[in-house]
Structure 1
Amino acid sequence: MIYIILLVVILLAVYAAAENLYILTVRREKTGSGIRIAHLSDLHRRRFGRNNERLCRKVRAEKPDLIIFSGDLVSRDTDSLAVAEKTLNELCSIAPVYMIYGNHEQSISAEMKPELETMFARTDAVLLRNQHTTVNIRGRELIIYGLLEGYGVYKKADGYKHLDTITASDLEKLLGHCPEGEVLLMAHNPFFGEAYSEWGAEYTFSGHVHGGAVRLFGKALLSPERKFFPKNSKGIYTFGNMKLFVSAGMGKLRLFDPAEIVICEI
Structure 2
Amino acid sequence: MPPSHRLDRFERLDALRGLAMFWMAAFHFCFDLNFYRLLSPPQNFYQDPFWTLQRTAIVSLFLLCAGLSQALAHEAGQGGRRFWKRWVQIAGCALLVSAGSWFMFPRSWISFGVLHGMALMLILARVLAPLGRGLWPLALVALLLPHGVQHPVFDSRWLNWTGLVTRKPITEDFVPVLPWLGVMLLGLAAGQWLLAHRRAVLGGALPRVLAPLATLGRWPLSFYMLHQPVLIGLILLAKQLG
* Higher RCO (CA-CA < 8 Å; seq separation 6+): 2
Q: TM-score, normalised by structure 2?
A: 0.30
TM-score, normalised relative to structure 1: 0.28
Instruction: Name whichever structure is richer in strand by fraction.
Output: 1
